[in-house]
Structure 1
Amino acid sequence: MDIKEKVDKLTRRYHTNEPFEIAERKNIPIIIEPLGDIWGYCHSYKRMQIIHLNSELDYIDQRFSCAHELAHIILHPRINTGFLRMHTFFSVERIEREANCFAVELLIPDSMIRSYEHISRSIYEMASICGVPEELADLKKIENQRTKFFYPFP
């Protein structure tokens, strides 16, 4: 199952694409605290997953960070990227990219893009509307209804 399918399954199950609401329904506590330059991180304590978000971020960035950390919990439940960065030579780039893809798919649903088709918005404008950093907008994949072909926006 690819990332887009996992996001679709998650949003169908919880009837929302709001990361704070999904975390609440999955009983994942969210702690908002000062974290300096770090947007957020997640860890487990006694088999309970916990998301930490930076209190210095605005709500839009906290929302994206929550979606990103939720992705780590769902896609990489046993991987500790902080440990890997500090104590190994293992590259966490792929893991972080997957978490970003998940967050982008969650926050920019295909249904929203279809609802804006008649206005002809760029993916960067859609990212801005949905609270996704513009530099990550290219990670969004759109399904062409006729061909079932996934393609990124130009």
Structure 2
Amino acid sequence: MNIPLRIRNLIKRHDTNDPYKIAKELGITVLAVELPERTYGIFKRVLGRKYVLVNDSLPEGIQRFIVAHELGHFLMHPGYSYYRMENRGYYASTKKEEEADQFALLLLKNNM
């Protein structure tokens, strides 16, 4: 999977590297909500609608990273729906989590 190419195309298509703006243009609602302490973020589809829930107790910069991470899952891993947690558990695909982390880092690192 060529993540840098995906990032370049995504930024070109949306004219931004802001994960919040990209999510909005993709029809994904981002909500900062109270989540269990060690749950950082969740991507869910509910009745055809797409949501990213991010833990509202996290610092703003971490929330931004989590939104970018979950956006990476949405774009690269259709059907993959796990929670983003500190100290990931056995249920999560390490490869998919690493790809989403790389996606988030490259998206946020790219200056517009």
Query: TM-score category by the smaller chain?
Result: 0.7 to 0.9
Aligned to 1:23: 23
Contact 2:82 2:92 survives alignment (8 Å): no
Structure 2 gap segments, 5+ residues each: none
Counterpart secondary structure, 1:39: strand
Greater fraction of residues in helix: 1
Q: Report the counterpart of residue 80 of structure 1 in structure 2.
A: 81
Higher-Rg member (1/2): 1
Question: Relative contact order, CA 8 A, sep 6+: which one is greater?
Answer: 2
How far does residue 81 in structure 1 lie from its aligned partner after superposition?
Answer: 2.9
Q: Secondary structure at the match of 2:39?
A: coil
Aligned partner of 2:28: which letter? I
Q: Distance in 1 between matches of 2:92 and 2:17?
A: 29
SS at match of 1:65: helix
Residue 31 of structure 1 and its aligned partner are, at CA, apart by 1.5
> Hey, what does 2:39 align to over in structure 1?
38
Pairwise CA RMSD of aligned residues?
2.0
Amino acid at match of 1:23: A
TM-score (norm 2): 0.85
TM-score normalised to structure 1 length: 0.63
The structure richer in strand per residue is 2
Number of equivalenced pairs: 107
Would you say the 8 A contact 1:49–1:73 is kept in 2?
no
CA change 1:26–1:95 in 2 (3 A) is same
* Secondary structure, counterpart of 2:104 in structure 1: helix
The answer to whether 1:13 aligns with 2:13 is yes
Q: Distance in 2 between matches of 1:41 and 1:90?
A: 14
Q: Any conservation in 1 of the 2:42–2:82 contact (CA below 8 Å)?
A: no
| 2:95 counterpart residue number | 94
In 2: Cα distance, 1:7 partner to 1:65 partner: 16
Q: Write out per-residue CA displacement over residues 15-40 of structure 1, whole angstroms, 9 at most, x where no aligned residue.
A: 00010111111110012111121111
- Structure 1 segments (4+ residues) deviating >6 Å: none
Structure 1 residue 13 displacement after superposition: 0.3
Aligned partners of 1:41 and 1:52 also within 8 Å: yes
CA distances 1:7-62 after superposition (whole Å, capped 9, x unpaired)? 11100000000101111111100121111211111011123221000000111111
Identical counterparts, % of pairs: 31
